[in-house]
Amino acid sequence: MEKRENEKLEEKSENENEKVEGKTRVICVPPVGRCSSFLCSEAKPDAEQFQGALRELKDLRSQLHQAADYCENAFLKEEKKKMILDSTKSYICDAIVAVIDHLGTVSSKLELELCNVAKATQTEQKMDFLRQRLLMCQQFAVTAELATFRYREKLMHHHPQYLSDGQILKKYDSSSRVEEGSRQIKDSHGKEKFGLSGRFQHVETGTEHVMILPGQHGQPILVTPSFGLKGTHNIGGDDKKKMQHNFLAFLSKNRKKSR
Amino acid sequence: MARAGGISNPVNVGIAVQADWENREFISNISLNVRRLFEFLLQFEATTKSKLASLNEKLDVLERKLEVLEVQVSSATTNPSVFN
């Protein structure tokens, strides 16, 4: 298509030249071809169109240089300079129009190339999807690991010392049993040891059962059910001996009463 | 004849001056348009530079993300306990 246009332009210029040839020698300058990249834009891809437009612009530059040299030489050599000047003026106008046309096509093609960044956005989206998948796999692995970590055959016991005041005392086995609602402690032989007033709580510490009893001055006392006074511990108490003495006296009184 | 020649000289001079002024006007128009063309080219160059720089930055970010993903996938395939 470009060749056909150039041929047409050449024919026109040749006709014009033939008319003037009779009088003076005419500037035999090749005509300035218009950019024909728009006609072939649908067939070629964008990159090739831009390259083609750039190549045409470079060819136009070389063509204009040649035309300028020719015009200068003709003006210097010929006698009728006015005719040469007029033809040069017309050629300059056409050349400027052609240059603007070519520059416009090149800039438009380049801008299309820069705006067409769909591939970059697509790759960005694909990478985001991959990252999401990896995160999901990671979360799944973490949850699966947590499930194995949480499951236990032996459930943890809730210690009654952390219970509120309204809790009822639980029943225990024969080694150390306390009836519900009662405030009497029985040993392994089933005999009543002493009656207690006030509140007391039961604590499990491993295999041994320990009881917390209210002390004399409101300080709690930790006692083993064996009542051998071996495992007596004062909780928060400074004067151990005093507390032990008080407890001994208390026990002796109860024994006397029971007898 | 001499008077006719004398009259024609200023006429010729006037015509020549007028032609010269037309040529100058033509040249000034051409130069003005060429300068406008040059300004357009400068502006176009600045915009394309900025667009290319932003595109380059985007591509760099994408490349880094891709590298991180590659490392993560390779580590996951070779050593699954990484996720635990």
In angstroms, the Cα distances linking A41 to A45, A50, A70, A76, A118 are 8, 10, 34, 43, 20
Residues 6+ apart with CB under 8 A from A113: A46, A47, A50
Option in A92, A99, A114 nearest B55 (CB): A114
Residue pair A74/A41 in contact by the 8 Å Cβ criterion: no
Rounded-to-integer distance, Cα A59 and Cα A50, Å: 14
Rounded-to-integer distance, Cα A25 and Cα A31, Å: 17
Put simply, the answer to whether A85 touches B37 (Cβ < 8 Å) is no
Residue type, A8: K
CB-count exposure of residue A223 (10 Å: 0-12, 13-18, 19+): buried
Q: Quote the pLDDT of residue A54.
A: 87
The two tokens of residue A46 are 């964008």
Among B20, B35, B51, which would you mutate to test the A interface (most chain A Cβ atoms within 10 Å of its Cβ)?
B51
* A51 pLDDT more than 80: yes
Put simply, the answer to whether A127 touches B51 (Cβ < 8 Å) is no
Q: Please list the residues that pair with A221 across neighbouring strands.
A: A213, A234
Q: Quote the pLDDT of residue B75.
A: 82
**How far away is chain A from the Cα of B62, in angstroms, using its nearest Cα?**
7
For chains A and B, CB pairs below 8 A equal 49
| A185 secondary structure, DSSP code | E
In angstroms, the Cα distances linking A43 to A15, A46, A115, A119 are 34, 10, 20, 21
Q: What is the 3-state secondary structure (H, E, C) of A200-259?
A: CEEEEECCEEEEEEECCCCCEEEECCCCCCCCCEECCCCCHHHHHHHHHHHHHHHHHHHC
Residues 6+ apart with CB under 8 A from A92: B30
Put simply, the answer to whether B30 touches A96 (Cβ < 8 Å) is yes
* Residue bearing the bigger pLDDT, A141 or A227: A141
Handedness of CA A41, A42, A43, A47 (dihedral sign): positive
Domain definitions of chain B by residue range? 11-77
Instruction: Say how many residues make up chain A.
Output: 259
Put simply, the answer to whether B41 touches A141 (Cβ < 8 Å) is no
Q: What is the pLDDT of residues A129-166, one digit of tens each?
A: 888 988 888 888 888 878 777 666 666 667 777 766 65
Q: β-strand A177-178 against A208-214: which pairing, if any?
A: unpaired
The two tokens of residue A247 are 């407890």
Chain B residues bordering chain A (beta-carbon distance below 8 Å): 23, 26, 30, 33-34, 37, 40-41, 44, 48, 51-52, 55, 58-59, 62, 65-66, 69, 72-73, 76, 80, 83-84
Q: What is the pLDDT of residues A82-131, one digit of tens each?
A: 889 889 999 999 999 999 999 998 888 888 887 777 777 888 888 888 88
Rounded-to-integer distance, Cα B11 and Cα B76, Å: 97
Q: Which of A141, A140, A132 is nearest to B84 (CA)?
A: A141
Q: Quote the pLDDT of residue A141.
A: 81
Residue of chain B with shortest Cα separation from A99: B37
Put simply, the answer to whether A117 touches B55 (Cβ < 8 Å) is yes
Q: Quote the pLDDT of residue A189.
A: 42
**Average confidence score pLDDT of chain A:** 65
* B29 pLDDT more than 70: yes
Place of tokens 């295999």: A207
Q: Quote the pLDDT of residue B9.
A: 84
Option in A92, A110, A123 nearest B48 (CB): A110
Option in A100, A130, A137 nearest B37 (CB): A100
Rounded-to-integer distance, Cα A115 and Cα A45, Å: 15
Q: Which of A36, A251, A138 is nearest to B75 (CA)?
A: A138
Element (H, E) at B30: helix B2-78
Put simply, the answer to whether A138 touches B83 (Cβ < 8 Å) is yes
Residue pair A45/A119 in contact by the 8 Å Cβ criterion: no
A-chain residues near B33 (CB < 8 A):
96
* B25 pLDDT more than 60: yes
Q: Which of A2, A112, A137 is nearest to A59 (CA)?
A: A2
| Strands ordered across the beta sheet of A220-223 | A201-205, A208-214, A220-223, A233-234
